[in-house]
Structure 1
Amino acid sequence: MEDAQIPPTDDQKKETAKIFKMGNILFIACIIYMGATGGLCLTGTVNLAGRTTSLPNFASRLEFTLKYLTLPLLWLLLLIFNIIINRGKTGALNPLAGRDMFFKKQSNILQNSFEQFILSAFAQFILVSFLDEVWTLRIIPWINFLFVIGRITFYLGYPIYRGFGMFLCLLSTTGMVGFAVYKFFEHLFF
């Protein structure tokens, strides 16, 4: 027997409309931000690659990518510590005690950040197989800084104003996957 769907209340409809309206503004802001930072990083005006100047083979590009995945991994670790500290403060140490409602926001942010991390990391691994050393030095650091900035703004804006951070991570990952798919089909057929 299926559960009957409960229609949204007027307050829920207003909140949904507010999220969509704000989402459009945050999407445009995200595109502008990515365009500005991408223009600076991808042209070499801003160098986020640190002291690395040469990546002569795939192994070195993969190692470089793994080093830069330290940034999003650190963010995930901070989110985990945030939940642990809040559990300790409220005495809700047992996750099966039914007090998870106090951590729903933090849990949702951690889960979403982990999902975005997995997608971004695999997209980066695939991407570096198609990039030369110059583009790896420019794209990989930029993508990981975008990820961390996106996740921080997602955290700060959650739930209503999370759109900028969500779009920042989603668009960069989608761009990497799109490029990888294009290069894959180019490899197969051309």
Structure 2
Amino acid sequence: MAKSGSEIRLSLILLHATLAVAFLGFFTYAVFTGSVNLVSNAREIKLNTLPAKLEFVLKYQAPGLFTLLLCVVYAMLRRGTSPARNPLSGNEVYVLAARYILTNTLEQYVLHLVSQLVLAAYVDALTLIKVVPLLAVFFLFGRITFILGYPLQRGFGWFVTLFPNIATVGYCVYKFLIQINLLI
């Protein structure tokens, strides 16, 4: 029996989600077991204070900012080299994909940045030194695969970006609820 279009779409979404979880899990395991070292001078880094932790987090925002800048430039180039040069010309169809990619990347980057800043207040220095570079790699890789797969094969990149954001926000909310004694 042939599958319907909605069954095929659901299968594709589940495949992308499963591949993303496998990639995220494998790479996280490799970093936390020491098989992959994302910070070569980790032993020299002293994160004894919250300002030092925040500085560390901010330094690792460069890959995310670079990705965001690429999306801005892509949208600008699409507009400048198409009949949509004038945004009121009725030719927005030429820049829709670039605008959607930029919007989604900006949304994901806000979650990425803010969740890491909050995370710095809750985790110890050794964990932060492993997690923040790992999140930066996930964001960069996820956004690149999202852009390259857009629109039909964007799921893997979207999940690689979203799942770490969900995990980080979830952990921060959990720690917050424990701190205010709502969870035991």
The answer to whether structure 1 residue 89 and structure 2 residue 87 are counterparts is no
Partner of 2:37: 47
Output the aligned Cα RMSD.
1.6
Q: Which secondary structure state, in structure 1, belongs to the residue aligned with residue 27 of structure 2?
A: helix
Separation of aligned partners in 1, 2:127 and 2:170: 16
* 1:54 CA drift (Å): 2.3
Query: How does 1:18-97 map onto structure 2 within 5 Å?
Result: 18-52=8-42, 53-97=45-89
Q: Output the amino acid matched with 1:100.
A: E
Separation of aligned partners in 2, 1:19 and 1:50: 42
Q: Which secondary structure state, in structure 2, belongs to the residue aligned with residue 129 of structure 1?
A: helix
Give the number of the structure with larger relative contact order, counting CA–CA contacts within 8 Å between residues 6 or more apart.
Answer: 1
Partner of 1:8: none
* 1:94 CA drift (Å): 1.8
The two structures have a TM-score, normalised by structure 1, of 0.87
* Contact 1:23/1:161, CA 8 A, preserved across alignment: no
> Mind listing any 5+ residue stretches in structure 2 that lack a counterpart?
none
* 1:89 CA drift (Å): 1.9
Partner of 1:4: none
> Structure 1's 36 and 157: CA in aligned 2 closer, same or farther, altered over 3 A?
same
The answer to whether structure 1 residue 133 and structure 2 residue 125 are counterparts is yes
The two structures have a TM-score, normalised by structure 2, of 0.90
- 50-59 vs 64-73, which moves further: 50-59
Query: Percent same amino acid among aligned pairs?
Result: 32
Q: Output the amino acid matched with 1:61.
A: K
